[in-house]
Structure 1
């Protein structure tokens, strides 16, 4: 004989009940079965809510009662032939009429006792089991209905009754031995006292009903049918990569269910464990899937960690004080106080110094617990031996579970390291000597990020997920997204990186998609997004709280550069090609570097100096290896190099600059490049990365632009001024050409001082043959004295700048 239990979602409506009956019909062809059913989905909640309304004389309870009635009558009409409906509807209404009298009593008396509440809660299962049994009878299945209250006998606790196992097991054996039907339908969750008064087995009690019956009749198998395909490695609603666990031990299943895995009710396992009856958790809506088998000796490869689970709405209560050290009895008094208040303890941890005891309980019981504990220890608190109980709320417990964890070293270290990398603060830790679970108390807002990060670490094929939030999708931004889309398969297969773009913003609209934006359609989707707002964009990134989040700034905006710190302090990495932040006041630059380290959030800006060239990365490696920078000579403006490589007495300076802007070599405001400000920022950044304290004003800037040109306010005025002063630019070219030199805008740093300006470069100089928009940097160091370290290549353009941003993202992926 097998026992099958179907949960509330499995019997939520007529369509689902038809699926259930198909499963029952097939199962009964192989063996006799007992079928335990829950109330129709959400009915129990409605019954209890209606009772609460009636007890406070809220007339709305009548509307809810009518809704409950309509729902059950509709199922009868949907599933029972018209010719057979009358008697079934009549019996259903009799039950509902009795329920109505209970509500009227609550309304008149303005009270709701636990005994009445248990009776009211029982109607969900009584109605569903009766209707389903009648549907099966109408289809000529060999079935019979049995009221569980006649079998399962309990104490008089009513709402959370304790089962009297000896008499219950005898009742079950007697009934099933005499039964000659293939299928027995029973309501779950409900039971009765020895006096015949209705009691309930607690929320999730239908699982327990099925387990009690399975153990009593020595069933071959207990099947729990629900809306998911077994117990998962983590909650699949939160961790999309979670997978069903094919085989798991009783102990592991109990640990997972205790720590929030809602697939199975925790007490369910106990009755069948001693009989070694396997439990099979299956999906009503996908019955062909394997599900999870719970047994004494699970088969298959023994993974150290079987699952990751968590409990929300936790409060951490801490009892501490110097007066506790070496004094026996504090723990006893604490636990007795909680017992007297009927408060369940979920987690316990105690410092080895005996200075404090921490316990985790449900949030809703925290206030009651504090009052009771403070009263118990009133004398010790008054005398200063113990502090008043400290209550921290809005917490969650996250737990690694696995019976085989004790045989693997370093699991705790990996768990805490991964949480630390994601800036998840741990408030308390608990690990039993049996090492079946490692539990940590964290902030509720970090639970999703923690679950996903730990699942990635312990269950996935070492593929690291990066979540990008991009602001600025103009020329460079568009190329960056195109490169990312093109390389996604390579990144996943070769570098084990799963890079998703979660948010995009331009100056007009912004778009978020938590599961990742489709990069084939991002332009269309963004055009339909909401109005762009820097603060709201940041708040959304923060509230999503995704692991390995990266904010990418592909703008030249002062306003965007001001909020890097707010991202970094929430463990959100920053990648930017915007030079403003790193070239701002030294204090701000240093602050950003410090909070990047403090919150373990990389702050990368390779493209600030040489677009896609690895200039800053090379410099960092030199410094990290102990080398010292003495001198830097560089051509750092791809736009200026392009301009002076193409300018001659055969064209105009105006036309060459306009061409450079059209081809994407200059900033949107080309004066930033031509004034030398852009180059000054770059050499400033290199000096700072070399370990020197410099401000932008310290850099000598020998501009070649006329004063009138420098003082223009718009691009239009700027280009007009270039035309006006064409003779000035032709004279600059002539002077260099007469000396057989080429014009290069050079940045120099030496002896702690920096300068930028236009220079005549002779033919024997390394800069002379620098073509197109290429950049070049010479590092003179302790190790590179006679011959400098040289880095040369394309230093401007949308493609290479995008590739530099891409490279910084990859660097973060490798951290």
Structure 2
């Protein structure tokens, strides 16, 4: 004999009920089947709501009743196209009884626990009737048996306690004589020894199934729901979650206690005592394996079986110096909560005995606070202890697994994963059995925490990076192209799943929490919302995804001003925008400090030399204890391109135009030609060498004329270049006469820095620097005579994008 329980979602629609009937028909061909059914999904809540409206003299209870009536009549009609009028009449009679009960509640303005039990019992009575009659109409050997005739309880209404001696005798006696292949039992409902209607409380349908299965000592109990078993984590929050093949009773209880809604622990105690296996199955996918819960669960390689969570937790802390060494505080605290019927979900106590911390349902926080403060009123008035401290909007995340106690480092991995994502842990609890490790965190961090932990313990070490890009110009387009091209490679070879979640330009912005489709990203901007820097930040913060990275590919001061907020919200920053790092030293230091404080990377390799590893090399030199004494560099790819192409045969104006056209200069070429860009770069290098300098400390020897420097617009600037061509030809001629080449050079020496145009003689490392290349020479204690040289392309969309990409990957490998 098989016992199957079908929950509210399994009987929540015509299609689902048809699936239930199909499953029962298949089972009944082999042996007798008992099906315990819940009320139609949502009906119990609707019945309670109707009762509350009636009690409060609100005639809207009639509308609530009509909705309930309509749902059930439609279900019966849809399931039975050739409906027997007698069946419909019987259902309408039952609904009329429900209406009479609601009318009575309305008239006497009272809804006692006894009446409430009678009211909600209609849910299971109606659903079981509809299912049984639909099966009989299809020629199946089915019969509905009222569970109230079998399960006998005391009169503790809304959560009655079962009299197992009478109940087991009733169940065995009935099913010993029962001849039908399929028996439909309404779950949740029962009767007291005096014949009054009672209910079995939360999880009552599971309880009914467990009581019947245990009484008949069946081979297994099947719980049918809308998911294919118990999952490694909540699949609504963790896309990568998957069904767990096998669990021990204890593991299943822990997962259920911590939020897994598939099973309610207390209700399965009858089968647990008899070691009857429980199978969790999916009504919508009956062939799926589901989860088997038994005493001999299969042990997998991973000691962690699942991750679960409880939301809306309040943390209560009782603390004070007067508690130390004084026995009885814990006893009084928990007695107070017990008297108020407040369940304690989590307990942790400092070894100093200075404080006790407990987690409870947030809805009970105020009542608990008032009761505890009253209980310890005397000690509080004498300042022996503090008034109870209450923190709300918290959640518990928990790792569960029987074998965790046999493996070292589980807690370390758990808290490392949370810490790397800057998820603050408010309290920790771990029992001596080590089947459960719990952490209290902020509600808003639950999704990120579950995903981070699932990634740590259940995925093939694939790290998901979630990227937000501001600035979709030439460099931005190249970066997106590179990310799309390398996505499979990164996932296969580096175990990095790189997704772009948000993009914005100066006009519009787009988002997709699951990752933007990079094959047609540009077309999505046609229907995008208006761009807003603060709105872009808010969306990134609200998504609260693990391993989030903001990439700035602009030259905007407004965007640079946002870095601190991104870092404070645990979102890493990757920037080719030099403004933030070249601003005041205090601001530069603030961003470095925020990066350390929030354990959130702030990378800006492309600030100097585009894709060249200049900053990283300098950091490594400093970190390894080397002392950088001098830096000489050509740091402007645009200026190098200009002076390599400018000659007595090609005027300066046309050369600058060409550089701008080919994307080597900023949109405003004055930024490059003024030397301010190079000054910022050498300033950043000086700061990375632990030198406190500001931009005004950099000596800037400009090669431009006064007219060039004072131009009021880009067009005006180009006009002055034409007018002052003789000036530039003189610069070229002077260098040529000395067999030198013009290079714009940055220098740092003995704590001072300067930039300017230099005549570089033949044989110098800078002399042969071609095209848009950059070069940096580091003279250090370890490289005193022959400098460490880094040389390569220092401008261009491709190499700048690759530098940004490298910083993103560096964060992924952290």
In the TM superposition, what whole-angstrom CA distance separates every residue of 1:258-295 from its partner, at most 9, and x where no partner exists? 00001111223311112111111111111111111111
Q: Which moved more, 1:768-777 or 1:385-394?
A: 385-394
Alpha-carbon offset, residue 302 of structure 1: 4.6
Give runs of aligned pairs for residues 558-569 of structure 1, distance below 5 A: 558-569=557-568
Alpha-carbon offset, residue 101 of structure 1: 2.1
SS at match of 1:299: coil
Tell me if 1:545 matches 2:544: yes
Alpha-carbon offset, residue 413 of structure 1: 1.1
- Structure 2 CA distance for aligned equivalents of residues 550 and 813 of structure 1: 10
In the TM superposition, what whole-angstrom CA distance separates every residue of 1:315-363 from its partner, at most 9, and x where no partner exists? 1111122222222222222222212211111111122222221111111
In the TM superposition, what whole-angstrom CA distance separates every residue of 1:374-432 from its partner, at most 9, and x where no partner exists? 11111121222221111111100100000000000111111111111111111111111
SS at match of 1:82: coil
Tell me if 1:325 matches 2:324: yes
Tell me if 1:58 matches 2:52: no
Contact 2:228 2:243 in 1 (8 A): yes
Q: Which moved more, 1:521-530 or 1:501-510?
A: 521-530
Partner of 1:191: 190
- Structure 2 CA distance for aligned equivalents of residues 681 and 164 of structure 1: 82
Give runs of aligned pairs for residues 395-794 of structure 1, distance below 5 A: 395-794=394-793
Partner of 2:177: 178
Contact 2:608 2:681 in 1 (8 A): yes
SS at match of 1:426: coil
SS at match of 2:426: strand
Contact 1:399 1:437 in 2 (8 A): yes
Tell me if 1:343 matches 2:342: yes
Partner of 2:15: 15
Contact 1:250 1:269 in 2 (8 A): no
Alpha-carbon offset, residue 83 of structure 1: 4.6
Distance change in 2, residues 1:419/1:83 (3 Å): closer
Contact 1:302 1:404 in 2 (8 A): no
- Structure 2 CA distance for aligned equivalents of residues 367 and 170 of structure 1: 45
Alpha-carbon offset, residue 727 of structure 1: 1.4
- Structure 2 CA distance for aligned equivalents of residues 573 and 515 of structure 1: 19
Partner of 1:31: 31
In the TM superposition, what whole-angstrom CA distance separates every residue of 1:74-99 from its partner, at most 9, and x where no partner exists? 01111124351x12221222222221
Partner of 1:316: 315
- Between Structure 1 and Structure 2, how many residues are aligned? 814
- Structure 1 CA distance for aligned equivalents of residues 516 and 253 of structure 2: 39
Contact 2:735 2:741 in 1 (8 A): yes
Alpha-carbon offset, residue 186 of structure 1: 0.6
- Structure 2 CA distance for aligned equivalents of residues 21 and 104 of structure 1: 35
SS at match of 1:765: coil
- Structure 1 CA distance for aligned equivalents of residues 787 and 706 of structure 2: 36
Contact 2:507 2:531 in 1 (8 A): yes
Alpha-carbon offset, residue 373 of structure 1: 1.4
SS at match of 1:796: coil
Contact 1:254 1:269 in 2 (8 A): no
- Structure 2 CA distance for aligned equivalents of residues 302 and 173 of structure 1: 42
Contact 2:302 2:457 in 1 (8 A): no
- Structure 1 CA distance for aligned equivalents of residues 762 and 165 of structure 2: 103
- Name the Cα RMSD after superposition: 1.1
Gaps of 5+ in 1: none
- Structure 1 CA distance for aligned equivalents of residues 733 and 644 of structure 2: 14
Alpha-carbon offset, residue 21 of structure 1: 0.5
- Structure 1 CA distance for aligned equivalents of residues 154 and 713 of structure 2: 86
Contact 2:77 2:83 in 1 (8 A): no
In the TM superposition, what whole-angstrom CA distance separates every residue of 1:502-522 from its partner, at most 9, and x where no partner exists? 111111111111111000111
Q: Which moved more, 1:364-373 or 1:298-307?
A: 298-307
- Structure 2 CA distance for aligned equivalents of residues 81 and 593 of structure 1: 71
Give runs of aligned pairs for residues 171-320 of structure 1, distance below 5 A: 171-299=170-298, 301-320=300-319
- Structure 2 CA distance for aligned equivalents of residues 54 and 737 of structure 1: 100
Contact 1:549 1:573 in 2 (8 A): yes
Alpha-carbon offset, residue 202 of structure 1: 2.0
Contact 2:343 2:360 in 1 (8 A): yes
Gaps of 5+ in 2: none
SS at match of 2:239: coil
- Structure 2 CA distance for aligned equivalents of residues 64 and 187 of structure 1: 23
Q: Which moved more, 1:764-773 or 1:155-164?
A: 155-164
Alpha-carbon offset, residue 300 of structure 1: 5.0
- Structure 2 CA distance for aligned equivalents of residues 228 and 690 of structure 1: 57
Alpha-carbon offset, residue 168 of structure 1: 1.8
Alpha-carbon offset, residue 54 of structure 1: 1.9
Contact 1:319 1:389 in 2 (8 A): yes
- Structure 1 CA distance for aligned equivalents of residues 452 and 543 of structure 2: 14
Q: Which moved more, 1:637-646 or 1:293-302?
A: 293-302
Tell me if 1:77 matches 2:62: no
Alpha-carbon offset, residue 49 of structure 1: 1.5
Alpha-carbon offset, residue 535 of structure 1: 0.6
- Structure 1 CA distance for aligned equivalents of residues 189 and 353 of structure 2: 44
- Structure 2 CA distance for aligned equivalents of residues 808 and 587 of structure 1: 24
Distance change in 2, residues 1:302/1:250 (3 Å): farther
